[in-house]
């Protein structure tokens, strides 16, 4: 990978746009995919197609039930509150405006033979991940582990489906991690789940055609906070002599933090004003005394981490300047803290972009997209053949008319 200097960039608006894995099942899945990639295909018998359709329907029903049950559990916990109810209504209108895109992505998510849904990485609820495979996995491919956002409450692995599908078209395997959300779990559960998921993928991805020596990590919003906490906790473990670890931060080639919050002390009052009330937020974060423990901006300054900072992956923090859910100053301060601690960090501010523009509206818009192109360029930086293919790759299709995207940006609760 090209050397990363500590720098800051500001981009003007015009420049951005449930199946358990066993040794046998992993081998069978990989051999089947490899077999098809080499042109040895055959027609599925009618019974097999019926079984596949039945499994898809059962999966949709199970996932819908899970989300609905968690939503009602959360509503009972939240009680009555004007701010969060108004935000929920805005979220509903926002989703309706983007529904043409969501339906297209959902169809590809459930119908594609290159998506492995709800693979198991642990024994806790929500210890699942979705795997997006390129059409051709004749040789080991780079891997991106993605940790979705969702205010620590509504995160779900399928939120990364558009990113996974589009990166898979560029020859990149994407693993979208699920983890326990509140009230199923609190922040330590989320970080532990994420760390366990990263470990499992690093140690097993070769069975799916992935290259364990080219693994990248990305987190968005709350997922950026959780994944950065997981990285720093792993770094702390590695700094303790004799500590047994199942993966190492040196195995992560780069970390992408998108629209994240990294100092919880600065965000408590901000979230309270936006409907994530202080009482609930402190319950998620296990009390006021834990806010510093789970604040990467503060934790990176701990003396015990000095010895592992040289092994920390290059960090790319991307944030929109019009982000009102988590102000862009959160990424600015974390970038400064990383650089002062000796880590390689780059801050990229996108003028006029909101909390969801970079992750939703821009990808649904199709065409060129700064975040997507930037990530692909970094992941393919040492692969000249892949870089050449990227140059001639077809433009990504538009999913939603521009007028609906602009209306969604105006009504977005984020």
In 3-state terms, the chain is what percent helix, strand and coil (to 5)? 50, 15, 35
Report the catalytic residues: 221, 323, 355
Pairing label, strands 7-11, 252-258: unpaired
Q: How many whole angstroms separate alpha carbon 201 and alpha carbon 195?
A: 10
Which strand (E) or helix (H) includes residue 321? none
Q: How many whole angstroms separate alpha carbon 37 and alpha carbon 159?
A: 27
Q: Which two tokens stand for residue 32?
A: 């089947």
Given a contact cutoff of 8 angstroms between Cβ atoms, the answer to whether 122 and 193 are in contact is yes
Q: Which residue from 369, 364, 308, 276 is spatially nearest to 97, judged by alpha carbons?
A: 364
Long-range own/partner contacts, residues 31-39 (CB < 8 A, 24 or more apart): 33/133, 33/137, 33/208, 33/209, 34/137, 34/138, 34/209, 37/135, 37/136, 37/137, 37/138, 38/138
């Amino acid at each position: 990978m090209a050397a990363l200097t500590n720098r800051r960039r500001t981009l003007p608006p015009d420049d951005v746009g449930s199946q358990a894995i066993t040794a046998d099942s992993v081998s069978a899945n990989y051999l089947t995919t490899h077999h098809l990639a080499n042109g040895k295909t055959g027609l599925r018998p009618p019974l097999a197609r019926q079984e596949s359709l039945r499994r898809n329907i059962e999966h949709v029903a199970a996932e819908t039930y899970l989300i609905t049950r968690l939503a009602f559990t959360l509503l009972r916990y939240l009680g009555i509150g004007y701010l969060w109810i108004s935000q929920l209504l805005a979220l509903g209108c926002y989703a309706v405006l983007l529904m043409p895109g969501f339906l297209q992505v959902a169809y590809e998510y459930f119908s594609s033979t290159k998506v492995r849904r709800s693979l198991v990485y642990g024994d806790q609820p929500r210890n699942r991940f979705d795997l997006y495979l390129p059409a051709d996995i004749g040789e080991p491919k780079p891997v991106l582990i993605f940790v979705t956002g969702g205010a620590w409450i509504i995160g779900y692995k399928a939120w990364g489906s558009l990113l996974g599908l589009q990166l898979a078209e560029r020859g990149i395997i994407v693993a979208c991690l699920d983890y326990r959300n509140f009230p199923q779990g609190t922040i330590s559960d989320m970080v532990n789940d994420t760390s366990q998921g990263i470990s499992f993928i690093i140690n097993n991805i070769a069975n799916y055609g992935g290259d364990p020596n080219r693994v990248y990590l990305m987190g968005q919003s709350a997922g950026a906070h959780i994944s950065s906490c997981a990285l720093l906790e792993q770094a702390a473990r590695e700094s303790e002599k004799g500590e047994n670890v199942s993966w190492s931060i040196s195995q992560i080639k780069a970390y992408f933090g998108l629209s994240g919050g990294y100092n919880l002390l600065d965000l408590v009052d901000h979230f309270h004003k936006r409907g994530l009330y202080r009482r609930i937020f402190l319950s998620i974060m296990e009390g006021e005394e834990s806010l510093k423990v789970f604040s990467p901006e503060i934790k990176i300054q701990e003396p015990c981490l000095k010895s592992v900072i040289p092994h920390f992956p290059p960090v790319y923090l991307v944030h929109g300047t019009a982000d009102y859910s988590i102000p862009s100053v959160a990424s600015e301060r974390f970038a400064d803290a990383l650089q002062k601690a000796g880590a390689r960090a780059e801050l990229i501010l996108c003028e006029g972009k909101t909390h969801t523009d970079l992750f939703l509206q821009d990808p649904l818009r199709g065409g060129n997209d700064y975040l997507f192109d930037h990530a692909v360029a970094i992941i393919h930086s040492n692969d000249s053949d892949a870089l050449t293919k990227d140059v001639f790759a077809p433009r990504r299709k538009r999913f939603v008319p521009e007028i609906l995207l602009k209306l969604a940006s105006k009504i977005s609760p984020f």
